[in-house]
Amino acid sequence: MKKRALGFTLIEVLVSVTILFIVIVVIYDFFMNTNKFLHNQDENIEVSLQAKRLQEDIKQWFQMADQKSIECFPYSKRVEMNVYEYDLAQNIFLKYRIVLQYDGVQKKISIHKYDEAGREVSSSIYLEKKVEYFSVIENGNLVLITYEIKFSPKKVQKYEITYYRRTD
């Protein structure tokens, strides 16, 4: 009778290594998919926060605006208005022109602030490459701004800003 040597045969080792390799690939794929999912969620949260911040900024500009100066340009997808801000250092009100503009090529919304001489004082860009739709509607005292943000091919969120001009 022959004694069998202790240890594993080559076939057993190859099968074990193959099974181990498959398990490692499955675990790696799971972690990579989880990482990708979490990255997309972080990006979606950032875009959502930016869309809400834009909404609040526009509402604030409307409330600060000289109501008669609010002008809507539906075809060029632009809104302009004059606002007055108090400068504590100079103890005076400064007049600025605010321009809200949609750029359909870069799919972004920007807000530009100009002083009385027409020089740009500040500029903010929102939602670059994310805005799928933008419209400005003016009907009497009503100003309606609508924009849609694309989070993914299947997820689009609509934002609306409805503002009624004061008649004071």
Q: How confident is the model at residue 168 (pLDDT cuts 50, 70, 90)?
A: low
Q: Is residue 65 part of a domain?
A: yes
Q: What is the domain count for the chain?
A: 1
Q: Is residue 19 part of a domain?
A: no
Q: Is residue 3 part of a domain?
A: no
Q: Give me the phi and psi of 40, to 5 degrees please.
A: -65, -40
pTM: 0.75
For residue 4, pLDDT over 80 is answered with: no
Query: pLDDT tens digit string along 72-122?
Result: 999 999 999 999 988 899 999 999 999 999 999 999 999 999 999 999 999
For residue 143, pLDDT over 90 is answered with: yes
- DSSP per position, 133-157: EEEEEEETTEEEEEEEEESSSS-EE
Q: Is residue 32 part of a domain?
A: no
Q: Is residue 29 part of a domain?
A: no
Q: Is residue 154 part of a domain?
A: yes
**The pLDDT value given to residue 38:** 86
Residue 142 domain boundaries: 38-164
Query: How many CB atoms lie under 10 A from the CB of residue 164?
Result: 12
Q: Give me the phi and psi of 30, to 5 degrees please.
A: -60, -45
Q: Any idea of the CA torsion for 30, 44, 128, 138, to the nearest 10 degrees?
A: 150
